A and B are shown apart, each in its own frame.
Chain A
Amino acid sequence: MMRSFAEMLLRAAQGLSLDETLLLWESEESGGSSVGWLRDAMASRLADMERSVREAEEAHCRGRLIGDDGSLIGLYRERAAEPLSGPLVLRACQIALSVATYNAAMGRIVAAPTAGSCGILPGLLFGYEEVFGADRERLLGALIVAGGVGEIVARRATLAGAEGGCQAECGAAGAMGTAALVFLRGGSAEACVHGAALLLKSVLGLICDPVAGLVEVPCVKRNGLLTGLAVLAADMALAGVRSVIPPDEVIDAMGAVGRALPEAFRETARGGLAATPTGCSLRKALVGEVPPLDAEEVQLP
């Protein structure tokens, strides 16, 4: 079973690159899909993701609660000669904000791993491509590595905010993105996996508390912010920093913390930011605008 980073590293030590190792493993487990078919299917996901970035950046959407923060970052990038967080982080953040806002506005995105956290991976992958340059094959490899990390998280813990809080959505997306960046930089499989663990450790316990139950506040900004954390975690892993707690145990801890989270912090919109005075009044105002459910949405011909 594709269940542990330990086994992933053992398999990767046999000579194939990490993305090829993962495709082969997946192909064995699925008992049917060939490596070539899987690679093509993931390439089409990458293309869909790229399309979501393009559409999101053209659309300049807003949400019900949030504005067009991606464009704000864009203007700031033109203005600020030397942004504090550097060109990659800022560009990745801009893309992540735009895509996550596009999702809130019913745009077409790729859940990665969830819809709420759909901005983080495209931000990191396409931000990296723009700032440092990377060919398609390499980018596809990075997406596969990200998917492999997500699979381990899904099997040992969870990827659902309703079960594990936001550490399981934006946290997992950040961990996946960290591994992807380490891979893009030519880091070892071990560095990829430890980078993912470093990121998750820094958001352990992050709750899911969407204001009014909408996938907007704090979701969209968490997408933007997690890209910065992922870049830093990747640099740390590339520098040789390793997690003292083995990556598999970090995921297990994340799962245990998620299960222990009170229900108010698991997508019920009854705790955290959703339960602040402003969160509550925003919800009231929105609910007030909603047409009563028995109203006929579409008249009979």
Chain B
Amino acid sequence: MSLLDIIGPVMVGPSSSHTAGAVRLGWLARQCWGEPPKEVDLFLRGSFAATYWGHGTDRALAAGLQGLSPDDPRVPEALDLARDSGLAFRFHGEEIDGAHPNSVRFHFIGQDREMEIVGASIGGGSVRIQSLDGFCLNLSGELESLVTFHRDLPGVVAAVAGELARLGVNIATMNLHRGGRGERAAMVIELDKRIDGSIVDDLRSVHPALERMFLIPAGGDVR
């Protein structure tokens, strides 16, 4: 908690968890999807489902998915903005045992791929992405974050970590999840330093088992 967290964030109301946090979740999910989405199903859980209507959670999520930040005055009109630009959002409710009380599952549908992302708003506008395509990961977006999808082969983690070390970038946290030995895996690496997007292109080639890698800029959506 710093002075700027106490006097802040600057946000569209009314709720830091159900509005500002929801914008951030949509924004992070869009970063993970990697391009402007065309079609998304959103499954609201817990109190997101129960009180979304009173906090503009639906508009907030749609705003984030369109790349808006929590302090963008267009958040309240996000559903109209989506309609105008031909984005399709469908909202559903779902009950999942043990799910975080303020959480949402995004199902992105693209031309030739789909992606599933679950995220939660954990209070005060902070959020966590909890799973990406079924991999249980932990991503807050507060630090510069590198996300990889790869095959679980020896040396992948070391190759990425080694290259980061060579670039002088310290790793703050790291979490990894795999489907099974030798199967698909995913990893989130939080970094202490901002890095240039072009570095990701070099990093991608450090090991042949790396399938997809992207960078989520630190606090890219907040002031």
- Cross-chain pairs A/B with CB under 8 angstroms, 27 sampled: A26-B2, A41-B4, A64-B54, A103-B14, A105-B14, A106-B14, A106-B59, A109-B12, A110-B7, A115-B11, A115-B14, A118-B13, A151-B2, A151-B3, A154-B6, A160-B124, A214-B14, A214-B51, A215-B14, A216-B14, A293-B49, A293-B92, A294-B93, A297-B90, A298-B82, A298-B87, A300-B88
| Nearest CB of A to B62, in Å | 8
| Nearest CB of A to B11, in Å | 6
Known contacts A108-B71, A155-B1, A294-B92; decide if A143 and B13 are in contact (CB<8 Å): no
How many residue-residue contacts, CB under 8 A, span A and B?
Answer: 147
Q: Verify if B39 is at the interface (C-beta below 8 Å from A).
A: yes
Given contacts A42-B4, A111-B8, 20 further A-B contacts (CB under 8 A): A22-B3, A45-B10, A64-B54, A103-B14, A104-B13, A107-B13, A108-B71, A113-B6, A114-B16, A115-B14, A118-B13, A144-B3, A148-B3, A150-B7, A159-B6, A213-B51, A214-B14, A293-B93, A298-B88, A300-B39
Contact A106 B19 (CB under 8 A): yes
Contact B11 A297 (CB under 8 A): no
Interface size on A, residues (CB 8 A): 57
**A135-183 contacts to B (CB < 8 Å):** 143-144, 146-148, 150-151, 154-155, 159-160, 162, 176
Contact A45 B1 (CB under 8 A): no
| Nearest CB of A to B15, in Å | 6
B92 to chain A: closest residue by CB: A294
- The interface residues of chain B lying within 8 Å CB-to-CB of A213 are 47, 50-51, 54
Contact A106 B13 (CB under 8 A): yes
Question: A164 CA to B83 CA in the complex, in Å?
Answer: 40
Give a binary string over B8-43; 1 marks a CB under 8 Å from any A CB, 0 the rest: 111111111001100000000000000000010000
Known contacts A107-B12, A107-B13, A297-B89; decide if A214 and B54 are in contact (CB<8 Å): yes
Q: Verify if B58 is at the interface (C-beta below 8 Å from A).
A: yes
Question: A160 CA to B126 CA in the complex, in Å?
Answer: 12
Stretch at the interface among B73-81, B132-140, B166-174: B73-81
B90 to chain A: closest residue by CB: A296
Contact B92 A147 (CB under 8 A): no
| Nearest CB of B to A223, in Å | 12
Contact B14 A104 (CB under 8 A): yes
Residues of A that sit less than 8 Å from B by CB:
22, 26, 30, 38, 41-42, 45, 48-49, 64, 102-116, 118, 121, 143-144, 146-148, 150-151, 154-155, 159-160, 162, 176, 212-216, 286, 290-291, 293-301
**B64-114 contacts to A (CB < 8 Å):** 71, 73, 75-76, 79, 82-83, 86-93
Q: Verify if B147 is at the interface (C-beta below 8 Å from A).
A: no
| Nearest CB of A to B145, in Å | 19
- The interface residues of chain A lying within 8 Å CB-to-CB of B56 are 106
